[in-house]
Amino acid sequence: MSRPVNERLVRSGLQQRRFKPAGILTRELEEVVLSLDGAEAICLADLEGLYQEAAAQRMGVSRQTFGRIVEAARRTIADAIINGKCLRIEGGDIAMRQEGVGMMKVAVPSRAGEVDGHFGHCEGFSVFSLDERGGIVGEESVASPAGCGCESNIGGVLARMGVTHLVAGNMGEGAVRVLQANGISVTRGASGSAREAVERFAAGTLADSGTPCTGHAGEHGAHGHAHGQDCGHGS
């Protein structure tokens, strides 16, 4: 007996549609079908640039299942484009994902309850759970991984906890890109109490400063970053 297929979560904006080569009637073309979950996988992996683990979490499937979905979707699209076929998007075992509804988790690089200005060397991460109204309903701590920010897997660790946003003091663009690829949005420019910073973020009064942390060239050398990698606290 085959295993039942779990419904894959897709964004509500995805619709059934058809694409075809110009100048040829649809009835004269061979047709291939891209399922809505395949289209969602392409959106997550190729448009949003998420790592497969983060994309799989968005769709509510395992990383292995996501890999199979996106591989099949890419092959279908390539077949349509290269061989001039009509591409129809529809179907699939799906459920619509309600964006922005329910619990949210926000992480803050912290030290003694305060926002730590150095993401790559913070003491740990305070993770706050927010309800649908933006109120804090829970808090937990995550130890900072060993090594510099660019050498750790903290993005994956936080993503597996369900973290979707990170509020920080400053960090380099490389660290921001890694977090974003794990499905975590970053807001820089916070200071003071970690809890109060999250409250400001939830209230919409904390905007991303866009300012990377600077002035740590000596530290980069001490950590062996002569190759120019971003350590999470420099640009």
For the entire predicted model, the pTM comes to 0.66
- What are the pLDDT digits (tens) for 112-123? 999 998 887 888
As a whole number of angstroms, the distance between CA 125 and CA 144 comes to 7
Q: Among the CATH numbers 1.10.10.60, 2.60.40.10, 3.60.20.10, 3.30.420.130, which is that of 104-213?
A: 3.30.420.130
- What are the pLDDT digits (tens) for 105-161? 999 999 999 999 888 788 899 999 998 888 999 999 998 876 445 556 888 889 888
| Residue of 2, 131, 10 whose CA lies nearest to 60 | 10
pLDDT of 215: 44
Q: Ramachandran region of residue 183, left (φ > 0), alpha (ψ -120 to 50) or beta?
A: left
* Predicted confidence band of residue 220 (pLDDT cuts 50, 70, 90): very low
Residues 121, 105: contact at Cβ < 8 Å? no
What CA–CA distances, in Å, run from 47 to 50, 126, 143? Answer: 8, 30, 32
pLDDT above 80 for 17? yes
CA 61 to chain centre: 15
pLDDT of 11: 82
Q: Which amino acid is at 54?
A: A
Residues 130, 104: contact at Cβ < 8 Å? yes
- Taking all residues of the chain, what is their mean pLDDT, rounded to a whole number? 83
- Residue ranges of the domains in the chain? 8-97, 104-213
- What are the pLDDT digits (tens) for 195-212? 999 999 999 998 887 765
